[in-house]
Structure 1
Amino acid sequence: MSIHFDHTIVGVRDKHATAAYLSELLGLPPAVPYGPFLMHSFGNGAHVHFADSQAAPTSTHLAFRAGEVDFAAVLDRLGRRGIPHWADPFKREPDALYIDGTDRGFYWDDPDGHVLELITRPAATRAGSRVRSGS
């Protein structure tokens, strides 16, 4: 297929704070300026652009994929900062991971209420049957 996802723009209260938050938790390099945005680039060529928003930000879901070592490091960083996470995006299963075939994942909120997800396998390879696991 010749069509690839390139980027999304996420409205936030403070693009510098949000970009730094994501850099710290995901272990990314600092975001770079790109026009009026701050941009994070990812290994697959996709980008997230953060824009300061005068209006209250609308919640967005952003899913990131990581290998097992980075997955564990992000989970550890969340724990050290006291940031809650859930096995589901509806926050019914606190302090847990989901297991979907060979994929593991969890959700947490950024300071603007955007729902972030970290997974270990591409979404298209999932079995489609989630099991809860304490983390």
Structure 2
Amino acid sequence: MTCTFNHTIVAARDRTVSAAFFRHVFEAAEAPSWGPFTNVSLDGGVLIQFADLPEDAFPEIQNQHYAFRVDDDLFDRAHARLVADGVEHWADPQQQRPGEINHGHGGRGVYFRDPAGHFLEMLTGSYV
């Protein structure tokens, strides 16, 4: 059997808000949820499970970076939603080029934050 990516748990302040954001921006499918998780499904059977972080256990979420490769059509639609919704975004991870997209790695890319503060990257090219 080959090795493939199956799922990850993403810390959230409000798991339903975070899941809704991913469904809205990335057109991710709603997936069956259970226990402490609100789930969304990406192509290839990848599951993203959002879980609320207890306020008293950890005062701050340790922000992570998640990158999503999308096709050109989804990039256009998702970027348009970010702009229409007033979501701050940058062409670079250093946040020096606000409101722009980049054209690196044979495609286009943009960086933005989700409702919990995680740093998301959406790109059409590939680093490898």
How well do the aligned residues superpose, as a CA RMSD in angstroms?
1.6
Find runs of 4+ consecutive structure 1 residues off by over 3 angstroms. Answer: none
Number of equivalenced pairs: 124
Where does 1:43-58 land on structure 2 (aligned, <5 Å)? 43-54=43-54, 55=58, 56-58=60-62
Per-residue deviation, 1:32: 3.1
Q: How does 1:71-86 map to 2 (within 5 A)?
A: 71-86=75-90
Aligned to 2:117: 113
Give the aligned residue type for 2:24. Answer: E
- Kindly tell me: are residues 101 and 13 of structure 1, through their superposed partners in 2, closer, same or farther at Cα, counting changes over 3 Å? closer
1:21 paired residue number: 21
CA contact (8 A) 1:23 1:31 kept: no
Classify the secondary structure of the residue corresponding to 2:108: strand
The gaps in structure 1 that reach 5 residues or longer are 125-135
Taking the TM superposition and a 5 Å limit, the aligned residue runs for 1:1-135 are 2-54=2-54, 55=58, 56-124=60-128
One-letter amino acid of the structure 2 residue matched with residue 26 of structure 1: F
User: As a proportion of its length, which structure holds more strand?
Assistant: 1
SS in structure 1 of the partner of residue 101 of structure 2 = strand
| Fraction of identical pairs, as percent | 35
Aligned partner letter, 1:85: H
TM (norm. structure 1) is 0.83
Measure how far apart 1:31 and its partner are.
4.4
Unaligned runs of 5+ in 2: none
Distance 1:101 1:60 in 2: 22
CA contact (8 A) 1:19 1:31 kept: no
Partners of 1:101 and 1:13 in 2: CA distance: 33
Partners of 1:47 and 1:29 in 2: CA distance: 10
TM superposition score normalised by structure 2: 0.88
Deviations 1:19-56 (A, max 9, x none): 01111122223343033211111112222111010122
